[in-house]
Amino acid sequence: MFLEISTTHQPATDLGFLLGKHPDRLQSRDLSFGKAHIFYPEATAERCSVVLLLEIDAIALSRNMTKTYADSFQLGHYVNDRPYTASSFMTTAISKVFGSALNGNCKERPELVEQPLPLEVTISALSSRGGETLIRRFFEPLGYELALSTQLLDPEFPNWGDSPYFRLQLRHHISLQELLMQLYVLIPALDNNKHYFVGSPEVNKLLDKAGSWLETHPELPQIARRYLRHQKSLTTMALEKLQDEDSAPHSFGATEPEARLEQNMSLHQIRHQAVLAVLQDAGLNSILDLGCGGGKFLKLLLSQTAIPKVTGVDVSYRYLEIAKKRLHWDVMPPMTRARIELLHGALTYRDDRLQGYDAAVAIEVIEHLDPNRLRAFEQSVFLYAQPGMVVITTPNIEYNRLFENMKPGSLRHSDHRFEWTRAEFADWTQKVATTYSYRVTVAGIGPEDARYGCPSQMAIFQR
């Protein structure tokens, strides 16, 4: 089985520096279950591809199998899919062979570690016991473009139907470390099995590799459960740690630059108060909080008793549960409960439930969308929902130069797909206003620097 990773980043051979593997050399490494070979079928300045090829010694594995994994069907020890499909063997090989890249280390070119790159991935045979649907549910929320092809159970007997094996191709603009971390978790979760004993150390592995991206994934419970081989106690432990909103930023490594800034200057509160002031001046009766997350702004809106109806929308079930906890949903007074509604939904699809509101806000949301999904967001909000007012805030990338220890060209948060200058934001807002018949006003939020402007920027659209 093989895993191929390619890039067209310029120069593409930077991939070799990130992986710590020279493109001119074939390298092999002995593993407990066989051998891993690393080679580059293509290595030019325009395109570079690396292949991780595994040779699984299934016979040696079967002879060394512990009683824990002994199978009553003895022939199954020797006749199985281990040598042919990507499973936990592949992720173990990734951690052994590409360990430096997986852990975010690159001595030669450290500035590349956090840099999003145009990456393509091919897995020749991926085992998915949940079929194509599960593969898409695991990868698409992370922003991947997928191409899948199924394989027949037996080409000589097509009536037997499709096998649970797929050829998977992925495309994304993402850092190599993030890509490897996501493959490390999702491949065995799809296979729904592991070749070694799963105990409490696996929870720490999951938190280490997935804490920065899995906590907001809509399939979080299922991924954790399958990764931990359906062990209820371990799954509960992992979910509790992943879902602890107060400890999460401190549990999975250094705090994001954006979080450090907000802690130092209370930008989070400044931004919420700026948006609230706009809404209060308009005298609104119903407000949508698009991408409401854990409900901090919803709580602020509910404190304004003059607003009769407040609705929060988020793609993450987990964040909606956090919002309920923050709002004390179970003990909320009936009159307050009648004013609020929480909806699970994506902001890039038409949703008739979002129609008829006086205003909608999207606070620091659009930068988490892939640029090619912005048009879908625009149509969902401005064409279909059509609130009378839309307030959108997003970071000002020019202000990033004032962040202490922030590398040039990097973004404030690992999940940001882009950040705009003031001119780029103004240009986008004007195009949206013209296209959907709104008027727009742009303003800064937070302390203003004479050269770089304010840390956040806000657009107020009105019909």
The residue-averaged pLDDT of 158-170 equals 79
pLDDT of residue 15: 94
Q: Beta strands of 350-404 (E only): which ranges?
A: 359-363, 389-395
Q: Could you tell me if 251 and 241 are in contact, meaning their C-beta atoms sit under 8 angstroms apart?
A: yes
Residues 309 and 185 grouped into a single domain:
no
Residue 438: pLDDT band by 50, 70, 90 thresholds? Answer: very high
In sequence order, what are the residues at sequence separation of 6 or more whose Cβ sits closer than 8 angstroms to the Cβ of residue 413? 256, 257, 258, 367
CA dist list (Å): 352 to 342, 391, 438: 15, 20, 20
Q: Please state, rounded to an integer, the average pLDDT across all residues of the chain.
A: 84
Residue 76: pLDDT band by 50, 70, 90 thresholds? Answer: very low
For residues 205 and 128, what is the distance between their CA atoms, to the nearest angstrom? 21
Q: Beta strands of 63-186 (E only): which ranges?
A: 117-127, 145-152, 162-174
In sequence order, what are the residues at sequence separation of 6 or more whose Cβ sits closer than 8 angstroms to the Cβ of residue 411? 367, 397, 400, 418, 419
Tokens of 392: 């959108």
For residues 183 and 186, what is the distance between their CA atoms, to the nearest angstrom? 5
For residues 190 and 270, what is the distance between their CA atoms, to the nearest angstrom? 42
The residue-averaged pLDDT of 293-298 equals 91
pLDDT of residue 235: 84
Q: What does the buried/exposed string (b/e) look like for 77-112 if buried means 16 or more CB atoms within 10 Å of the residue's CB? A: beeebbbebbbbbbbbbbeebbebbbebebeeeeeb
| CATH number where 448 lies | 3.40.50.150
Residues 279 and 217 grouped into a single domain:
no
Final residue in a domain of this structure, among 209, 230, 253: 253
- Cis bond leading into 11, ω under 30°? yes
The residue-averaged pLDDT of 178-192 equals 89
Residues 416 and 453 grouped into a single domain:
yes
pLDDT of residue 153: 67
What would the 3-class secondary structure string for 420-440 be?
Answer: ECHHHHHHHHHHHHHHHCCEE
pLDDT of residue 250: 29
Instruction: Report helix, strand or coil for 24.
Output: coil
Residue with tokens 């609130």, as numbered in its chain: 387
Residue 263: pLDDT band by 50, 70, 90 thresholds? Answer: very low
Residues 311 and 363 grouped into a single domain:
yes
Residues 248 and 223 grouped into a single domain:
yes
Residue 269: pLDDT band by 50, 70, 90 thresholds? Answer: confident
pLDDT of residue 70: 45
Residues 63 and 159 grouped into a single domain:
yes
In sequence order, what are the residues at sequence separation of 6 or more whose Cβ sits closer than 8 angstroms to the Cβ of residue 82? 33, 56, 58, 61, 89, 195
Residue 60: pLDDT band by 50, 70, 90 thresholds? Answer: low
Final residue in a domain of this structure, among 211, 230, 253: 253
Q: Could you tell me if 5 and 115 are in contact, meaning their C-beta atoms sit under 8 angstroms apart?
A: no
Does the pLDDT at position 382 exceed 90? yes
Query: Of 31-45, 55-69, 122-136, 221-235, where does mean pLDDT reach its minimum?
Result: 55-69
| CATH number where 27 lies | 3.30.1610.20
pLDDT of residue 130: 78
Report the percent of the chain where pLDDT is more than 70: 84
For residues 342 and 380, what is the distance between their CA atoms, to the nearest angstrom? 18
Residues 71 and 165 grouped into a single domain:
yes
Instruction: Report helix, strand or coil for 83.
Output: coil
Residue 412: pLDDT band by 50, 70, 90 thresholds? Answer: confident
Residue 6: pLDDT band by 50, 70, 90 thresholds? Answer: very high
Q: Residue 226 CA to chain centroid, in angstroms?
A: 18
In sequence order, what are the residues at sequence separation of 6 or more whose Cβ sits closer than 8 angstroms to the Cβ of residue 101? 18, 19, 20, 176, 177, 180
The residue-averaged pLDDT of 116-122 equals 93
* CA angle 17–22–26, rounded 5-degree value: 150
Instruction: Report helix, strand or coil for 232.
Output: helix
Residues 264 and 191 grouped into a single domain:
no
Angle between helices 201-210 and 220-227 (to 10 degrees): 140
Which among 45-59, 256-270, 404-418, 439-453 has the top mean pLDDT? 439-453
Residues 114 and 230 grouped into a single domain:
no
Query: Of 143-152, 177-186, 247-256, 351-360, where does mean pLDDT reach its minimum?
Result: 247-256
* CA angle 265–245–299, rounded 5-degree value: 70
Residue with tokens 């459960």, as numbered in its chain: 225
Residues 38 and 141 grouped into a single domain:
yes
Q: Measured in Å, how far apart are the chain's first and last C-alpha atoms?
A: 56
Q: What does the buried/exposed string (b/e) look like for 170-193 if buried means 16 or more CB atoms within 10 Å of the residue's CB? A: bebbbbbbbbbbbbbbbbbbbbbe
Tally of structural domains, the chain: 3
Residue 197: pLDDT band by 50, 70, 90 thresholds? Answer: low
What would the 3-class secondary structure string for 56-79 be?
Answer: ECHHHHHHCCCHHHCCCCHHHHCC
Final residue in a domain of this structure, among 158, 177, 196: 196
> Over the stretch 12-44, which tens digit does the pLDDT of each residue have?
999 999 998 888 889 998 887 788 899 999 999
Global model pTM greater than 0.85: no
Query: Of 137-141, 251-255, 358-362, where does mean pLDDT reach its minimum?
Result: 251-255
Which among 65-69, 210-214, 383-387 has the top mean pLDDT? 383-387
Residue span of the structural domain in which 246 resides: 198-253
The residue-averaged pLDDT of 286-304 equals 93
Residues 127 and 116 grouped into a single domain:
yes
Residues 6 and 115 grouped into a single domain:
yes
Instruction: Report helix, strand or coil for 134.
Output: helix
